[in-house]
Structure 1
């Protein structure tokens, strides 16, 4: 076993008003919920303005044994930013203007900066920061790092982790790690050896070192994944904090890698009469040799028939053939303006795969910025419509975040069909009997309403169940658990982009197994021995007792 000695540095700035709590219940109430629909509670709100403020807050929390939930813009769907108790620490004031080094294709930005605004600023300088979560105008850069966010373009560019080159993180002891990718790499069995300058770790636990193990749990790099702390045969220390959901430290500044902004994009929306043809098109485009073929999809998005119905309701002028059972949105970024040759190659592929190319609305190619904006609205109409339907039903939606390998795409699509059309077929007999015993006077539904859309290029479809009553909700949760087990058996991920938070802890434990859980708990205890940060995220309290 090797020990990699990692120094700490002291926080920047001076302790000021940002280290003082806001105790006004009316103001604190605005920080108690996120996109999951869960509502929490907290006794105080802190809005630090610098690293020194954060250090003071965390050291005080350690002394007083108070939990701290770090929040950004609270677009999490897993309740990771919903406090159960204690204090809320908002990063909204950590929004220093970015420093951009165009020649070296790097930018440094405060964690509280709105991600979409950061990307717009870069675009003005003809630069691109690729991660593009749907919520990019409603989330911060630091928040996107904390959950390893991704989006439609992850098919080509990958998740946030791929683009982070450095960060500054305030630890619970009040010291700072100034991390650079490639600086500290450890192999399985090695440990990162954090040397604390103050000889104090997390509010009174005496230790001049923290030994952080390398987690053993690992999912194939082919599969989109946001499950727990990064592990494998070799781990970069920076990657333990990316996707850690506010449980290991507070990210205050991020350095990211950039690309030259592509000159153009070729976008289209293609409809198919059956799913097999659509899957043929996806597989053919993914298998194209980028060194030979002009066809290269940077974004592949799936819309099932229920999604198309929502689009029709929201945008009646956007015609879709009645025969269409599925549609695929494709984006290919180009170094030059798209030409007829590229369009012709794509149309040949679509025709060969059975797209409804001869029907009105069967294939829509966006040739102007206005038409590209229309396709953007089409894509956003579906999640909006799902949320509106759930609100009308008066029941929560349950959306999957499962991802599998390329070879299992058709299998997961088939499972989603069974989940909607024959949900009881996915359940064990004892589960069905339990559900029946809970409602002896009611008949279990034979079908479930669902809308399936999402990042099919990554084999990552969001199946959104829309239960209409308590019995359907119980059945949906049982079906969701069955789908989760099926995906784990395939070697897939239970959380491709949304993380674990407080809602998916049981599935998290099932995914990583006892050995994987022990490794991740050791990381948590080394960096946060008093369990100050993110209580309830990833781990049950009993696991950290």
Structure 2
């Protein structure tokens, strides 16, 4: 059994105080943008909105809300697409103003730089400041949290914080709460791989400081928390085994799991993250990209499998990411080029190309790296000679824009159809499977989608067997058909040992899919964990579980 003692909440003598509004009408008129996210759900409502600047304010607010048994929805960058930040009454707690970097230190044991940051900072802002080594303004020479700053500034290496979800305007705390991932996850891992410590405020106002490596679960699957006032509560941890695939569906549960990983990816249902310590990574010396084209889906997928099999620390290159684009996605890119959109300066092959792989990699010797790639490409009827290569920042940025332009263009198409048919929206999947099931998943999905005759686009992080299917209905009948089709695709992924949500989470929009993955007993275990940490079930109601 793990035993952990709550700690006093942090406060700040220079704190300029929180902002609080207790009027549903004023919340709607002054803070309307906080009532919606990128999910497309109708805007929600809240009787109270609260903007803290420090941890103690969060603890005091949750104590009050818990006593009143008032629902609290957590809000970060509002970039999620499953409705997690949309409130359905009660209070909205926005972490926007908790956006400071509060310290940096060199960890001798792990030989890495670690940065401590509040949850409200935007991911792009944080990554830019790491890249520029511009972490703090003013004199912090007497602050123990910054004693290693001079060493960091004179370190000859460049550093990065690797997680790269598509929406870099997400808050860092939101990416931790959802265990966000992106294209580079294949090499660098998901957000949880870079989180070294958390401070979390529970609904009961207890504050936990959890450091990775200090709280590994044993066979008892229980945690005992001692509050500052001497109260002790026992928390049961789910006993099921999470899928052996990239997944953000439900609470993570694995043998000998670290307690910190229960809170990472819990979508704001177990506590409020108020401070995060993350590890930095050295920027590779040379990075390049290429977009290779294949005459069949099989060729594209088998190229990915071959490249993965060659993964070796001594290889002449390190693959960061492998992104798949199906023939419909390529057709969409061709149309955008004709209209002068993203990628207008990039030449795409003719319509005979069935699939493409966008690869980012780092290398020491370019000639060796090219030689290493050429044979796998030729074995699967492709070539670097016919690929679009990115050897400099400008061309690599164009290739990244090309990839990101696909979902953006899809959203524009859907917006136009929404004007013609009320309630129209796209239907998207977020499934992944274990490595050995990738070929089966692609073949199965291709057959199912072709038989449906619905407009669709398939793209995603194929290195991790993670594909997004976007279905674009034209009328209400097709919308109903698309919803059934998405559930069928999710069932297929689960049958292959995979997940219904690889990176977007469950939120309010995918709760029905959890039942495809988990038994009633497993779902009850999750709820028991939540109820033990949040007895009145006030945190993020409607997220992950039914109200």
If the length of structure 1 is used for normalisation, what is the TM-score? Answer: 0.89
Contact 1:45 1:89 in 2 (8 A): yes
1:119 CA displacement: 1.4
Contact 1:6 1:194 in 2 (8 A): yes
- SS class of match (1:497): coil
Q: Name the counterpart of 2:222.
A: 191
Q: Name the counterpart of 2:131.
A: 123
Q: Name the counterpart of 2:37.
A: 34
Q: Name the counterpart of 2:294.
A: 272
The 5 A counterparts of 1:434-513 are 447-513=453-519
CA distance in 2, matches of 1:464, 1:46: 36
Say whether 1:99 aligns with 2:103.
Answer: yes
- SS class of match (1:407): helix
Q: Name the counterpart of 1:43.
A: 47
Instruction: Deviation per CA, 1:246-282: give whole Å up to 9, x if none.
Output: 1111101100112111112121010111111111211
Instruction: Deviation per CA, 1:81-120: give whole Å up to 9, x if none.
Output: 1111111100001111252335632111111111122112
Instruction: Deviation per CA, 1:196-215: give whole Å up to 9, x if none.
Output: 1135xxxxxxxx22211121
Q: Which of 273, 281, 293 lines up with 1:251 in the alignment?
A: 273
Contact 1:163 1:258 in 2 (8 A): yes
Q: Name the counterpart of 2:11.
A: 13
Q: Name the counterpart of 1:288.
A: 310
CA distance in 2, matches of 1:508, 1:43: 30
Contact 1:33 1:82 in 2 (8 A): yes
Root-mean-square deviation (CA, aligned residues, Å) is: 1.7
1:391 CA displacement: 1.1
CA distance in 1, matches of 2:367, 2:202: 54
Q: Name the counterpart of 1:364.
A: 388
- SS class of match (1:66): coil
- SS class of match (1:105): strand
Contact 1:188 1:215 in 2 (8 A): no
Q: Name the counterpart of 1:203.
A: none
Structure 1 alignment gaps of length 5 or more: 200-207, 424-446
CA distance in 2, matches of 1:355, 1:331: 17
Instruction: Deviation per CA, 1:421-457: give whole Å up to 9, x if none.
Output: 113xxxxxxxxxxxxxxxxxxxxxxx11101101000
1:19 CA displacement: 6.0
The 5 A counterparts of 1:7-406 are 7-13=5-11, 17-18=17-18, 20-21=20-21, 23=23, 24=26, 25-38=28-41, 39-101=43-105, 104-125=112-133, 126-136=158-168, 138-198=169-229, 208-221=231-244, 223-316=245-338, 317=344, 318-322=346-350, 323-334=352-363, 336=364, 338-355=365-382, 362-394=386-418, 395-406=424-435
Contact 1:184 1:237 in 2 (8 A): yes
Instruction: Deviation per CA, 1:384-441: give whole Å up to 9, x if none.
Output: 1111111122221111100001111111112222232113xxxxxxxxxxxxxxxxxx
Pick closer, same or farther for the CA change 1:391–1:171 going to 2, 3 Å: same
Instruction: Deviation per CA, 1:455-493: give whole Å up to 9, x if none.
Output: 000000100000111110101111111111121121101
CA distance in 2, matches of 1:82, 1:215: 27
Contact 1:188 1:232 in 2 (8 A): no
Contact 2:430 2:502 in 1 (8 A): yes
Contact 2:288 2:392 in 1 (8 A): no
- SS class of match (2:353): coil
1:21 CA displacement: 2.8
- SS class of match (2:96): coil
Contact 1:131 1:150 in 2 (8 A): yes
Total equivalences in the alignment? 501
